[in-house]
Amino acid sequence: MDITPKQYAAALYDSVKEKKKNNLKAILKEFVKFLAVNNDILKSEKIILEFEKIWNKKNKIVEAEIISADVLDKPTVKLLKEYIAKLSGAEQVFSSQLVEKNLLGGVVVKYGDKIIDGSLKTRLNNLKEEMIK
């Protein structure tokens, strides 16, 4: 039977979720041995990504990407993170910032499978489309 990365990740999460830090090394060592025995070491990158998704969901953590035309100040980032937490129900929001000059202004926020596009470029394109109609 072929075990998917998602199934491996779920099993790993169940193995570590309530364990003490000093037990984790042994659990991970056995998990890697299990992957090797099943010839699934090549799935490890996908397993890690799936594990991260499970961990974040269970612990109410959201990872967000904030894209803007210029570097945002700390109070603005804090407000955006609070807004994301409110929308997603997360208790913690970790964010990374990316500067894209072609946005002209505003921000685009990506988290999970959601995109909030508040960029000036998109607003201008939408206005252009409305004027063409």
Looking at the structure, do residues 65 and 31 belong to the same domain, yes or no? Answer: no
Looking at the structure, do residues 113 and 52 belong to the same domain, yes or no? Answer: no
Classify strands 61-68 and 106-111 as parallel, antiparallel or unpaired. antiparallel
Confidence of residue 30 (pLDDT cuts 50, 70, 90): very high
DSSP of 21-42: HHHHHHHHHHHHHHHHHTT-GG
Looking at the structure, do residues 65 and 54 belong to the same domain, yes or no? Answer: no
Q: What is the reported pTM? A: 0.76
What letter does residue 113 receive in the DSSP assignment? T
Looking at the structure, do residues 69 and 54 belong to the same domain, yes or no? Answer: no
Confidence of residue 99 (pLDDT cuts 50, 70, 90): very high
Instruction: Give the residue carrying structure tokens 């000059």.
Output: 101
Query: What is the domain range of residue 78?
Result: 61-132
